[in-house]
Chain A
Amino acid sequence: MKKDNFKQFYKEFPSNPDARVKALKSILEKEGLIDQKALDEILDTYQNKVGPLNGAKIVAKAWTNKKFKEDLINNTDKVLKDMDLNGRQGEHVVVVENTKTVHNLIVCTLCSCYPWPLLGLPPSWYKSDAYRSRAVREPRAVLSDFDVKLPISKKVKVWDSTAEIRYLVLPQQPPGSKGLCENELVSWVTRDSMIGTGFPKPPTGE
């Protein structure tokens, strides 16, 4: 059997992460392997441009447009590509719909896979050991940490993103939002409702 172990180079670097990344960066700069403008562009993308608003727009559209919803569920990658919402960490997306009888919850137990183009970067808790270990074993207890209580008439379906398929929950439209237009509905759709750890709710005006 082959061996392919990493030598632990990182141990030779300063242990403080701030100093560690500085040491690394100075080597990369000296060798001309990074372009600061490219780094700035990457950060700008994920700090300011890509976030849960993208997912919220899709959900609101799906709530108000039956044909779109069918397309979104059946031809997800094409629909997202046409909307320019595919790309890194959203190359292959599956939309899972919450119903009267099924509540979907997304996790990645092996790392922290997350649909970046639709939700942005994952929140800290999504990457935590506690969430990664508990979500598959005791999803209802995890949900209660988020103040989400589910009746036993609903089955909890946990999706562990172990491959390159990224999942987005299509939450149920809250009764109180019926009759609102697509644009108004966008602000009801929370990030957590698209991961399965929350429900859509009326905008608080924050």
Chain B
Amino acid sequence: MSKAHDMGGRLDSQRIDIKSSKEKFKADWEKEVFAITLALGFSSLWNLDRSRYARESLEPKDYLQFGYYEKWLGGLINLMGENGIIKDGQENGGNFKKSSFRVLKAKNVKKLLNMGGPTKRESTTEKKFNLGETVSVRANNSNTKVEKGHTRLPDYVKGRTGKVIAYHGSHVFPDTNAHFLGENPEALYSVEFKSQDLWDKCEYFQDTVVVDLWESYLEKFK
């Protein structure tokens, strides 16, 4: 089932508003949300996949109505809630273990931002697909381990057929990492789809869409 955040190909007739494209933040509160979200991202209590899942899990009507940083803010509050830092809008020491929370200090900001969070891992298994190979995407794009769980398999390519054009090594698997079920690195590929294989009315038959997909999203083409 497609979720609110999974927008690729959704029928939308709105013009892209390219004005005001230089402004980074529309208001001071957006700056606060941005900085606090990044700072708490280093707390070690959750990972990037978890924070994406938190944003996607906002009530669908809120996800669609909220501005970009409102989504971040909603997601962040929910992450803090599940860690016991807050409870029902009130402070509550609760089950929060402060000792496991790493507070980001100014002197570490540059170093940590430069390090980032690489997701590439040593490959421990042989990859299944070769460059140039035609592959099919799984027909069902639900998370296979967690009910309505996180996935990075967009709805618009499920069940479609494309060609492997790049292999990126093994990368942390978001479908488990977002739920603290382990990194379970998997081979990651770029798969190129013809637009005409994705859409009823494609603009031009030669155009293509490339999507980065983990190995377990893919099947041998039969």
Contacts and interface: CB of A to CB of B under 8 A. Distances in A.
B145 to A, nearest CB: 6
Contact of B36 (A28, A47, A141, A162): A28
A33 B96 CA distance: 12
Contacts of A32: 103
Name the residue in A4, A45, A159 with the highest tally of chain B Cβ atoms < 10 Å from its Cβ: A4
Interface in A1-33: 1-13, 17-18, 20-25, 27-28, 30-33
A166 B140 CA distance: 26
B212 A165 contact: yes
B147 interface: yes
A90 interface: yes
A24 B85 CA distance: 10
Given A125-B17, A162-B212, A165-B212, A4 B207 contact: no
Given A34-B103, A92-B120, A27 B68 contact: no
Interface stretch (A60-68, A109-117, A175-183): A109-117
A139 B207 contact: yes
Given A33-B43, A45-B110, A92-B168, A128 B16 contact: yes
Contacts of B172: 164
A11 B58 CA distance: 10
Contacts, number: 301
Contacts of B17: 124-125, 128, 130
A53 interface: no
B219 interface: no
Contacts of B6: 109-110
Interface in B107-127: 108-110, 112-120
A38 B212 contact: no
A91 B117 CA distance: 7
A137 B208 CA distance: 10
Interface in B77-120: 77-78, 80-82, 85-91, 98, 101, 103-106, 108-110, 112-120
Contacts of B147: 1-4
Contacts of A84: 114
Contacts of A38: 39, 104-106, 108-109
Given A5-B57, A13-B77, A134 B146 contact: no
Interface residues of B, number: 110
A3 B137 CA distance: 25
B16 A142 contact: yes
A7 B89 CA distance: 12
Given A7-B78, A27-B91, A28-B40, 19 more contacts: A1-B145, A2-B149, A9-B86, A10-B74, A10-B81, A11-B59, A12-B89, A24-B76, A38-B39, A38-B105, A88-B112, A110-B7, A124-B68, A130-B14, A137-B156, A138-B203, A145-B15, A145-B16, A160-B210
30 contacts: A4-B147, A6-B82, A17-B70, A21-B32, A25-B36, A27-B80, A40-B106, A42-B39, A43-B35, A88-B112, A88-B114, A88-B115, A91-B119, A92-B168, A109-B154, A109-B156, A110-B6, A121-B24, A121-B34, A128-B14, A130-B15, A133-B7, A133-B8, A134-B12, A136-B209, A157-B192, A157-B207, A158-B209, A161-B212, A164-B119
> Which 5 pairs show the lowest CB-CB distances between chains A and B?
A12-B89, A9-B81, A109-B8, A37-B106, A163-B212
Interface of B: 5-12, 14-18, 20-24, 26-29, 31-36, 38-40, 43, 52-55, 57-59, 64, 67-70, 73-78, 80-82, 85-91, 98, 101, 103-106, 108-110, 112-120, 145-149, 152-154, 156, 166, 168, 171-172, 174, 179, 181, 188, 190, 192, 198-199, 203-204, 206-214
